[in-house]
Structure 1
């Protein structure tokens, strides 16, 4: 069976955008692939993390994955720092990748901004670690969003150069991007032109995965809209970002095309549509939220799941890393 690798950073405040954009898709992939899912805590420390918060966030992200339907028995769920092959292979790839390649990575420019001279070396070399995450398991497919396509291309470049440099044809596969249909781009409930974000100063701007039913209902009721009723066709959403956002959320949670949602609700005032949306959001998210809370109250269980996952991941990665060291010319124990 083909192998999928993907990971998410434990940065806290998981929201609906994280669920619809990544976690829900990962759950669906379990039916057709061997899946390895990783809490990428090494990536997280490319910017400062308070140690206690980082530990809590690692457990929260793992809990959210399990509560959403990721099966840590049939597949592998672990946190990155427990498998040393990621860091070891990343250093080898730092010596394969070229400075010019990394200079072209737009995500570093966006994250470092005007303070790039004060950014960590880890943030700059982040793409080499991402390549190691994927190739340590010789993953064949990687689900990617818009912000990760460039990094996956770099992974393929690193794999190609390694294979060529060491005359090790086809040693590393060239992982294919897994495009999971139209991306669900979830926007702020207070400003439909901005992405939903954990860093937004207003908690009312996002739907957190930890919100209870009453909080979910309140946030949707107070979500920004306009004065016009819903249109009956998608063209009618042009220039109406808040209306588009609420319809998109409804469509994504119901697994329906936007056109079908508008055919059903076109002409409805937002007061009525918000109630329908509330019912859907609570129906889909409340069970996940409740299970997350239960799991977070049992950190020893989460730790045991991650430790077992790390053992299984290590069993795959270590033989591959040993082969890499042989190819490079290192002495193995």
Structure 2
């Protein structure tokens, strides 16, 4: 591992570091690491599409204060990780299975940093929920929590067949690197206004995200490529057809979710024995960036959930950090 930048705009806990990691296929990714004193275990945090490790610095403060290490990734094609296309604003990956190479590299690095065996749990947000569901089928985990997991993408019913056909034909027609219809090079958090946005109802967290991207525009990512869209559709269909992992699961889905497909999330959760689905009324896509009542409830609930299933001693959780 080599040291990588970790920008101050993360507003994470003290002791945070970032590292460059090289995957089995030679792609360079970046991992953030926030260690806890006398850690109970380690949270593998899987961010969503367009995201980067600084975005979850404040989340790391909550989990580290509760005694959990937290590791987070810049997946290939986003953040400061290697990007595949000449246009770096395009979100692109050759195959969704390639993200599992990033996961394996992350797990190797975490094993080295932990310095000894610790219970591990997973949090996957949005696209990270898709990557995480696949990873949960094979990693040694105690539990998994998801925030608005991308187990389906929300389309108008009339558009869905066209999305399948157009994305499937894109690579044979030499258009696989083009932006998916309705998307653009500018990242959503900078292109949109707070009023009416689909991410959060909390203006402070909206400004937190925008400040990071304004200070470090190299972190930004625009719309996905047509080929990414096709590979995502294929992977999500496969995951919904597969049995649920034999793993305790807690999932949050905003009551006003407009990015991932709520029906797909509810279908998966209905077929996951013992899993629990929480749908905060009115919440948007970014549960960890939502209003204080929603995000604080998510932190408290996931901490208690992980403590229980990792069999760590019960303790009074600290008050949420400002």
- Fold in common (TM above 0.5): no
Higher strand share: 2
Higher relative contact order (CA 8 A, sep 6+): 1
Higher helix share: 1
- The normalised TM-score by structure 2 is 0.28
